[in-house]
């Protein structure tokens, strides 16, 4: 039997496989797409796989809705952290859980009823994002009508943040794919459009590479918080409101580390059908 868990962080939803005690070596792209399908599968934005790690408490693999790999997923990290800490796994003396990912090692802990995750250092040079050529990452011309210059940086995956008058008025369905696949971004990019709210917080809408529009994006919210601070539009601590809810973003300029704090939720747990489980073993369709 192949067990799974469904969780979400502010509507950013995940299928989670806990394979710390063993499981398939990989999730084939075809299996990821089938599982993520909201009509024929379970449905999710990303698939998360928990594995043992030799250098951290656990390892977390991340696959996008289209089967491609992702280096970071802030809301997913918070969900996995809550799950693992709730399972009785011991953390360090400060209650911190270390998580190995392809984008680097992360740290997560409980903050009251919420989960905080240190997403690590923010990379702000053009070659770290990466961009196709040298540019000022505080003002990268996108060359897309309807969008101004972007603030670009990387948090394990590339982000472009565009400040606009009204985030709700942006045709993200049309503009998101244009920016994601632009030649400016050799690894594609996550696009966030942001406007400031009357209460001082920031409204964010997001197009995730390999996924599309999502209700929330953790690494995207971190990217927005850092962009707010880098542009001098607000303090180093800010509230970011997404379709699914609000998180707090704290950027430490001295270390360049960024921390996100917010809620997580459990949806259901279950067992894959034999047909779905066979996809994980690559017995049907492409690998």
Active site positions, annotated: 73, 217
Question: If you compute the radius of gyration of the chain from its CA atoms, what whole number of angstroms results?
Answer: 18
Task: Give which of 71, 62, 13 is closest to 223, Cα–Cα.
Answer: 71
- Chain mean position to CA 111: 20
Bond before 130 cis per omega within 30 degrees = yes
Backbone angles phi, psi at 122, to 5 degrees: -95, 130
Cα torsion 283, 72, 42, 53: sign: positive
Helical residues (DSSP H) of 21-140, grouped into ranges: 29-36, 74-86
Query: Is beta strand 97-101 parallel, antiparallel or unpaired with respect to 104-111?
Result: antiparallel
Tokens of 4: 């799974």
Q: How far is the C-alpha of 18 from the C-alpha of 21, rounded, in Å?
A: 8
Backbone angles phi, psi at 208, to 5 degrees: -95, 135
Tokens of 205: 């809408």
């Amino acid at each position: 039997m192949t067990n799974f868990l469904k969780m979400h962080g502010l509507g950013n939803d995940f299928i989670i496989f806990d394979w710390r005690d063993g499981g398939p070596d990989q999730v084939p792209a075809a299996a990821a797409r089938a599982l993520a399908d909201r009509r024929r599968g379970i449905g999710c934005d990303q698939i998360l796989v928990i594995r043992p790690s030799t250098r951290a408490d656990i390892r977390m693999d991340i696959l996008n809705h289209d089967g491609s790999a992702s280096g970071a997923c802030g809301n997913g990290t918070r969900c996995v952290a809550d799950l693992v800490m709730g399972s009785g796994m011991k953390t360090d003396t400060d209650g911190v859980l270390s998580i190995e990912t392809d984008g680097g090692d992360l740290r997560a802990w409980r903050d009251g009823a919420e989960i905080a995750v240190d997403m690590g250092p923010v990379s702000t040079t053009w070659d770290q994002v990466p961009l196709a050529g040298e540019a000022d990452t505080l003002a990268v011309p996108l060359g897309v009508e309807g969008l101004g210059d972007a603030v670009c940086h990387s948090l394990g995956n590339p982000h472009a943040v565009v400040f606009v008058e009204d985030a709700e008025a942006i045709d993200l369905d049309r503009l998101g794919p244009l920016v994601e696949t632009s030649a400016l971004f050799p690894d594609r990019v996550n696009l966030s459009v942001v406007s400031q709210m009357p209460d001082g917080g920031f409204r964010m809408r997001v197009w995730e590479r390999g996924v599309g529009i999502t209700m929330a994006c953790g690494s995207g919210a971190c990217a927005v918080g850092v962009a707010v601070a880098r542009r001098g539009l607000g303090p180093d601590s800010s509230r970011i409101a997404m379709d699914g809810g609000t998180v707090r973003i704290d950027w430490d300029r001295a270390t360049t580390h960024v921390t996100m704090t917010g809620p997580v939720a459990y949806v259901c747990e279950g067992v894959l059908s034999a047909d779905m489980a066979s996809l994980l073993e690559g017995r049907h369709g492409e690998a």
